Amino acid sequence: MAQAIQQILNDPDELSEEGMSWSRQVGLAFIIPRAALQCVPLAANEPRDGLQRTATFVRLPDASPKLVVAPAGPCGFGVFATTRISSNERLGEYTGEIRSYDIWCEEIKALKIRRRNSDASSPFIREELYAAWAGSGLAEKGVVIDAYHKGNLMRFINCSCKPNCSFKSVSAPREPHGRLQVTTLRAIEAGEQLSVDYGWYHDPATLDDIRKEAVAAYTSDLPHLQALQLSDPEPGEGDSEAVQLVAEALKEARGRPGLRRRPHSFLAGLLDSEALARFLESGKRFSEATTYRAIPDPVWLLYEVLGAERVGIACRCGADPSLNSSGRCAGIIGRPLQVNFAGRDES
């Protein structure tokens, strides 16, 4: 990724006049590549929906000159460090429009109806993931800082299951909502990408949608999974990717590795072939599941991530080493990394 940064610094087209002027307008020393100019620059939050700016007297630092916006593999553009940044460093404010959560939600719903004739919460649309929670607000209906149309470079920070930054809310006592400041959780090396945990998984409506979709995906695969329970399973031509992965995992557990027809995939990492084999050897079988809880243990994680893909918020931070140095990913934006939680009862 350091190479990508160097390329931008060297390329006069990427280091565009527009990018420089965008940067100057928000008073910053960072560089916005031409292709990333997607929103109006905003050096300070702009109130909407009858809301007020917070009275907070605390001066937040301007966005750090140690940052650059650059292409970030599977996630579009991202924010990278050009030099080492220490732990607990305040990198600047996440600016955007101060919106009432319920009005913002209505607008998102209207957009969904225009685009696909339904305001169902899933799948997410891209615009939803630029809004960050800023507190309950005077009316107790919630306030978000929405950086989709207006904002600063912080709006380019992607989501990671193992984030190196977080949003800290800064507000004076009794202030109904806060301002958001990006702060490092650990030291960040030059060339590393900044990341935060978006936390959408914990939105109850989204979680519900993901789990319904997980049950639907499992149910449509069930006859094929049942066929695999035979002693020498062979995946069929029309089998889904999940069924093929389960077949491969079973063969692997039964001592016939080497049958993989494709490189080890992201989804394959969600299956434990030994646990799968133990499940069948103990006499348990794939059977009907009308709720998420009833999906058998060895495959629930696979189907939950497939459910998230159907909902439209699959996380791919594990596919980008600069975003998630462990190379592991929960598969769902905002969900804790698998290694950090004990099972599907996490809250």
Cβ 325 to ligand SAM shortest distance, Å: 14
Specify the DSSP element, H or E, that contains 275: helix 273-281
Total interface residues for ligand SAM by CB under 6 A? 15
Cβ 294 to ligand SAM shortest distance, Å: 29
- Taking the least distance from each CB to ligand SAM, the nearer of 183 and 219 is 183
Q: Binding segment for ligand SAM among 89-97, 125-133, 214-222, 300-308 (CB under 6 A)?
A: 125-133
What is the dihedral angle through the alpha carbons of 295, 333, 197, 167, rounded to the nearest 10 degrees?
A: -120
- Taking the least distance from each CB to ligand SAM, the nearer of 72 and 215 is 72
Report d(CA 160, CA 346) in Å as an integer: 18
- Taking the least distance from each CB to ligand SAM, the nearer of 123 and 298 is 123
User: What binding mask, one character per residue, do residues 127-166 give for ligand SAM by CB under 6 A, x or -?
Assistant: --xx------------------------xx-xx-------
DSSP notation for 2-31: HHHHHHHHH-TTTS-HHHHHHHHHTT----
Specify the DSSP element, H or E, that contains 26: none
Told to check if 305 binds ligand SAM by CB under 6 A, we report no
User: What binding mask, one character per residue, do residues 61-100 give for ligand SAM by CB under 6 A, x or -?
Assistant: --------------xxxx----------------------
Q: What are phi and psi of 301, to 5 degrees?
A: -65, -45
Q: Report yes or no: 80 and 5 within 8 Å, Cβ to Cβ.
A: yes
Rg (CA), the chain: 23
| Nearest in space to 77 (alpha carbons), one of 179, 186, 151, 143 | 151
Please report, as ranges, the residues that interact with ligand SAM according to CB under 6 A: 75-78, 126, 129-130, 155-156, 158-159, 315-317, 333
